[in-house]
Structure 1
Amino acid sequence: MDWVAEFYSTTGGWWGRAEAEITERDHRRLRLLHEHAGERPLRVLELGSGYGTTAAVMARAGHAVTAVEVSDRVEFAGRFTRDVEPGALTVVRADFYEVDLPRDFDVVCYWNGFGVGCDADQRRLLTRIAGEWLRPGGTALIDVFNPFVWARWDGDEEHRLPDPAAGYDHELRERIRFDPVTCTAIDTWWPVADPERAISQVLRCYSPADLALLLTGTGLALAKIHVGEHAFAPAARPGPRDLLHDHHEYLAVCRSS
């Protein structure tokens, strides 16, 4: 996983000026937190917190948040702490496979990032969440990449033109490939003026059934899947058809034993 810090630092440099802003996506994540973990003040750990926007929204809502981010994107987080109560938001620059944190969190969140690395890496992280960080009976909210949509995007290319007024200073291209054997998406970006600087993120995708198998023995169990605006039991029949077409990720709601 040596590519992780470089990829997110580089892309954060490309479009962080535009995208390091609190948006409706951050407020939606807060609503999901409240729906699945309750609205009382919670101790929350956010893994892969990026620019820190969601962590700030959760802290402003009265939760005590620890945010962990390995890339340069963490440097944007300071701008979102102005309206946060002292001590409500702690930002840690670290690799969450290595960081040492106490086991006192009610909720662990991992938005839009699970699947970096191989199955063994995911299981190691899930075991850390359940065994080292979550209090017994705690909740993990994990965005999982949906293989059905990523497979449909195989071969897609996009051309992002610069828009300095909106904060996008670079002309970039993107290409998506999907490996049907390993169920992995390879998302590659490069500057149009310098295609030799291409960088890729490699994302393992899991169907809900495969995720349930991955969770076995980690100390976490899949309680619900949240697709779009609706939550379903993992054994719901028929399953949510939206997974086939509309959502490139779904939220896995897991409970610790």
Structure 2
Amino acid sequence: MDWAKNFYSETGRWWAKAEARIGDRDHHRVAQLHEYAGKQPHRVLELGPGYGTTAAVTANAGHTVTAVELSDRATVASAFAAEVTGGTMTVINDDFYAVQLEGPFDVVSYWNGFGIGSDADQRRLLTRIAAEWLRPGGVALIDVSNPFVWASWHGDEEHLMPNPEQGYEHELYETTTFDPITSTATDTWWRADLPEEKHSQHLRCYTPADLALLVAGTGLTLTTVVGDPAGLLKDQHEYLAVLHHEV
């Protein structure tokens, strides 16, 4: 997992002007939180919040949010935290495999990021969620990379031109590969003017059945998979897993 801080920090610098904006996706995520955990005020732990846009919308909905971000994107998230007008939002720039937090939380969310590292790493994180952070009966909301769609992207290449008006300042290349043995997607990016500096993220993908096996024994139970079956086979590159802390 040594690549993670560098990858998300570097790409964060490329895309912050364009993507560090609150949008429909953030509001949709908070609607999902309310659907599966209720609208009453919660203590929410958000892992890997990136620029902090969803965490800010969650806080503005009246929740108390602790957001733990490994990369330099935490700086942008802290700026969003300073503008929260509803509940509260605290940003911690740390590794959530090592960070010490004061629990318990009613909700733990991990939007768009689960799958960094080995199966053992994922189980270690899930066990921390259950044993240290999530209250009994609490809800964990985790986006999981879908192997069916990532596999269909194997060998794809993209060439993206700058669009300064939208905040995209660099000409970029991307290649995607998928290892069917380990069910791991590798997404590699580089700037056209720095072709020797390539940055890759590696995402372990899980079918819902594989996720249920991974979760077994961690103290969490997979209760709902949010996603259309046809979409999971064709174009939904991730799905929301709803897990509950066993009482």
- Shorter chain as denominator, the TM-score bin is over 0.9
Distance (whole Å) between structure 2 residues aligned to residue 99 and residue 38 of structure 1: 27
- Structure-2 residue corresponding to 1:245: 234
Cα offset, 1:39, TM superposition = 0.4
Distance (whole Å) between structure 2 residues aligned to residue 30 and residue 171 of structure 1: 33
After TM superposition, list the pairs within 5 Å mapping 1:57-136 onto structure 2: 57-85=57-85, 88-136=88-136
Cα offset, 1:17, TM superposition = 1.1
Q: How many percent of aligned residue pairs carry the same amino acid? A: 63
Q: Deviations over 1:221-248 (max 9, x none)?
A: 10000116xxxxxxxxxxx222100200
Distance (whole Å) between structure 2 residues aligned to residue 144 and residue 66 of structure 1: 21
Q: Which has the higher mean CA deviation after the structures are superposed, 84-93 or 193-202?
A: 84-93
Q: Which has the higher mean CA deviation after the structures are superposed, 125-134 or 192-201?
A: 192-201
Cα offset, 1:80, TM superposition = 2.0
Local SS of the residue matching 2:99: coil
Unaligned runs of 5+ in 1: 229-239
Preserved CA contact (<8 Å) 2:59 2:86: no
Distance (whole Å) between structure 2 residues aligned to residue 241 and residue 221 of structure 1: 24
Distance (whole Å) between structure 1 residues aligned to residue 44 and residue 37 of structure 2: 10
Q: Deviations over 1:69-126 (max 9, x none)?
A: 0101111123323542487111100000000012210000000000000000000000
Preserved CA contact (<8 Å) 1:60 1:83: no
The yes-or-no answer on 1:159 pairing with 2:148 is: no
Distance (whole Å) between structure 2 residues aligned to residue 141 and residue 87 of structure 1: 20
Cα offset, 1:169, TM superposition = 0.8
Preserved CA contact (<8 Å) 2:6 2:71: yes
- Structure-2 residue corresponding to 1:17: 17
Local SS of the residue matching 1:128: helix
Preserved CA contact (<8 Å) 1:56 1:89: yes
Distance (whole Å) between structure 2 residues aligned to residue 246 and residue 86 of structure 1: 35
Q: Which has the higher mean CA deviation after the structures are superposed, 160-169 or 4-13?
A: 160-169
Letter of the aligned partner of 2:160 in structure 1?
A: R
Letter of the aligned partner of 1:25 in structure 2?
A: R
Letter of the aligned partner of 2:181 in structure 1?
A: V
The yes-or-no answer on 1:52 pairing with 2:56 is: no
The yes-or-no answer on 1:143 pairing with 2:132 is: no
Runs of 4 or more, structure 1, over 4 Å off, are none
Local SS of the residue matching 1:241: helix
Letter of the aligned partner of 2:243 in structure 1?
A: C
Letter of the aligned partner of 1:159 in structure 2?
A: H
What is the TM-score of this pair, normalised by structure 1? 0.93
Q: Relative to 1, partners in 2 of residues 1:47 and 1:173: Cα closer, same or farther, differing over 3 Å?
A: same
Q: Relative to 1, partners in 2 of residues 1:113 and 1:185: Cα closer, same or farther, differing over 3 Å?
A: same
Q: Relative to 1, partners in 2 of residues 1:209 and 1:196: Cα closer, same or farther, differing over 3 Å?
A: same
RMSD: 1.1
Q: Relative to 1, partners in 2 of residues 1:60 and 1:87: Cα closer, same or farther, differing over 3 Å?
A: closer
Local SS of the residue matching 1:187: strand
Q: How many residues are treated as equivalent by the alignment?
A: 246
What is the TM-score of this pair, normalised by structure 2? 0.97
- Structure-1 residue corresponding to 2:225: 225
Cα offset, 1:166, TM superposition = 1.2
